[in-house]
Amino acid sequence: MTKKKTAGKKPALEKKKNNSFDEGPLREVKIRVVGIGGGGGSIISGVSSSLKKVLFATANTDSRALYDATKNKKIKSFHFGEEITGGLGTGMDPQLGKQAASESMEGIKELLGGQDITVIVSSLGGGTGSGAVSTFASAARQTGSMVYGIFTLPFSFEGEKKMSIAKEAIRECAPYLSAATILPNDRIFNVVNKNTPLKEALSKMNEMLAFNLEGLVETIYETGLINIDFADVRTVLSGKQGSRKLAYLSTVEASLQDGAEEIVKKALSNPLYPYTVDDASGVLFNITGGNDIGLADFSSISENISKYTSSKAKIIVGITQKKNYKEKVRIALLATGCGADFFSEELGDSKKPAKKKKPSRKKKPKEDKELVKENKKEEVQEKSGFPEVKSRLEMEEKDILEEESKWEKPSFLRGKDE
Ligand SMILES: Nc1nc2c(ncn2[C@@H]2O[C@H](COP(=O)(O)OP(=O)(O)OP(=O)(O)O)[C@@H](O)[C@H]2O)c(=O)[nH]1
Ligand SMILES: [Mg+2]
């Protein structure tokens, strides 16, 4: 297990000038989380309430969606492309979203400037988020920030057009990203009952996504016994080239009684992910426990994480103790350089069938078989396109449309010509 060096370390970017010092004499890391488009805005609404030190913004071409998503005053609202969209969204036209963002480049840079990390969150498949993410990522990069993208892919039942819009957006955005987490919305049906209404399923997806992100942000801001700071996050996020940019972000809470192995499996088999940490090149994780957690617990959790990741991975571990964590343990984990083939195969020509992924790990621990089996099951489920779910969701979609059209049609269900 790689041990973290903390001696002689400077506080993150301490030397940067012209920054305000809100939280004390040492300059704190600045993180801005920006949600782009309708879904991006909804996800941000969920995460903003629990994170204090992070700056939030939501950007949209749709003024009404923007108004709804930024009722929480902690979220800065950024309306763009008003002239070309009339403030009504793009109607699933990514070219319009792209043009709207390009014309607002200066405003975007102003919005995103001065950050160490910019997290861009968008549910792809529509026109605003998919068209604009690359411009936002490029703008953030130009201001000197690291850019981490968290994207969802549309449900299979929404059709190939939306999926190809989403994939094109990721391809365009990739050069500006240090890392990207990509979660197909379909994955939520590994979590919720298949009879769950669509709106509720999306909320659950957003909630889980928000929880994962919270774990990482708290890890950066909280001071642990063995502390993880911005420099560590930068190490893990940076230096990935081309197809090695996939990041696996997972936060889990469990009871200490579950035992280290189960707790770690839970963290590493997050049902929302279509890829694993098997071939990750960098793994950062923070273990938070109460005063009742012993060295042996920390040690066996760490050992289990090492066991399930590549022996070549650079591992950074942090430990935090909190009084209110009685019998409870939380693991916040960020693994980068995952799913080596995902960018080229999954995001390549959609007509080409994706090649079967070869496990890159040389030696699989016996205990891992169960995990692999579970993932295979999920893959098969995913490939089937959820026929049952599909027809049910189509019906639900219709119901929701009828219900909501009384006052507003959800933007992501709107057709281009409506
Ligand atoms: N996870 C999640 N996905 C969502 C949510 N809302 C919409 N989506 C997905 O995101 C895709 C794009 O929808 P929007 O985010 O509304 O689209 P947009 O970026 O605002 O683009 P336009 O409305 O076409 O201008 C949809 O097809 C859905 O798959 C949400 O709250 N959560
Ligand atoms: Mg929209």
Question: What is the spatial distance between Cα 40 and Cα 217, in angstroms, rounded to a whole number?
Answer: 18
Dist. CA 24–CA 8, nearest whole Å: 20
Atom of ligand 1 nearest to the CA of 123: 10
Of all atoms in ligand 1, which is nearest to the CA of residue 97? 25
At residue 65, the pLDDT reads 93
DSSP 393-412: HHHHHHHHHHHHTTT---GG
Report residues whose beta carbon is within 6 angstroms of any ligand 1 atom: 37-39, 42-43, 61-62, 89-92, 97, 123, 125-129, 152, 154-155, 158, 162, 185, 202, 205-206, 411-412
> How many whole angstroms separate alpha carbon 121 and alpha carbon 169?
13
**What integer pLDDT is reported at residue 84 of this predicted model?**
92
> In this structure, what token pair is assigned to residue 80?
């763009």
Q: Which atom of ligand 1 is nearest to the CA of 154?
A: 29
Give the span between the Cα atoms of 56 and 44, in whole angstroms: 7
- Span from the CA of 154 to the centroid of ligand 1 (angstroms): 8
In tens digits, the chain (418 residues) has pLDDT values of 443 433 333 334 333 333 333 444 456 889 999 999 999 999 998 787 778 789 999 999 999 999 988 888 889 999 999 989 999 989 999 999 999 999 999 999 999 999 999 999 999 999 999 999 999 999 999 999 999 999 999 999 999 999 999 999 999 999 999 999 999 999 999 999 989 999 999 999 999 999 999 999 999 988 888 888 888 998 898 866 555 789 999 999 999 999 999 999 999 999 999 999 998 999 999 999 998 888 899 999 999 999 998 888 999 999 999 999 988 999 999 999 997 666 666 665 444 444 444 434 433 333 334 433 443 443 333 332 222 223 333 343 344 334 333 333 333 333 333 3
For residue 146, the SS3 value is strand
Distance in Å, CA 400 to ligand 1 centroid? 15
- Residue among 123, 130, 401, 413 whose CB has most ligand 1 atoms within 8 A, to mutate: 123
Contact in structure between 118 and 158 (CB atoms under 8 Å): no
Q: Which ligand is nearest to the CA of 94?
A: 1
Q: Tokens representing 320?
A: 């935090």
Atom 28 in ligand 1: residue holding the nearest Cα: 154
**Which among 148, 154, 159 has a CA at the least distance from the CA of 205?**
154
Residue bearing the CA closest to ligand 1, atom 31? 39
Measured in Å, residue 186 CA sits from the centre of ligand 2 at 19
* Whole-angstrom distance, CA of residue 262 vs CA of residue 344: 33
Q: Which ligand gives the minimal distance to the CA of 150?
A: 1
**Closest CA relative to residue 386, chosen from 182, 156, 159:** 156
pLDDT at 239: 61
In the chain, what are the domains? 31-220 (3.40.50.1440), 247-351+360-375 (3.30.1330.20)
What sign does the dihedral 124-128-130-132 (CA atoms) show?
negative
Question: 3-state SS of 323-372?
Answer: CCCCCEEEEEEEEEEECCCHHHHHCCCCCCCCCCCCCCCCCCCHHHHHHH
Which ligand number lies closest to the CA of residue 122? Answer: 1
The reported pLDDT for the residue numbered 311 is: 87
Q: Based on the number of CB atoms within 10 Å of its own CB, is 241 exposed (0-12), middle (13-18) or buried (19 or more)?
A: exposed
pTM, whole model, 2 decimals? Answer: 0.80
Residue 88 burial by Cβ neighbours in a 10 Å radius (0-12, 13-18, 19+): middle
For residue 183, the ligand 1 atom closest to its alpha carbon is: 1
Q: Which ligand is closest to the CA of 128, given by its number?
A: 1
Q: How far is the CA of 338 from the centre of ligand 1 (A)?
A: 25
Name 150's Cβ contacts closer than 8 Å, sequence gap at least 6: 43, 119, 120, 121, 122, 180, 181, 183, 209, 213, 249
Count of beta carbons in the 10 Å neighbourhood of residue 361: 17
Ligand approaching nearest to the C-alpha of 97:
1
Q: Which residue has a Cα nearest atom 11 of ligand 1? A: 125
pLDDT of residue 9: 38
Q: Which ranges constitute the DSSP H helices of 52-159?
A: 63-69, 82-85, 94-103, 105-112, 128-142
Ligand 1 pocket test target in 412, 413, 416, 417 with most atoms within 8 Å of CB: 412
Q: Which two tokens stand for residue 6?
A: 């903390």
Please tell me the distance between residue 123's alpha carbon and the centre of ligand 2 in angstroms: 10
- E-strand ranges in 228-348 read 246-255, 282-289, 314-321, 328-338
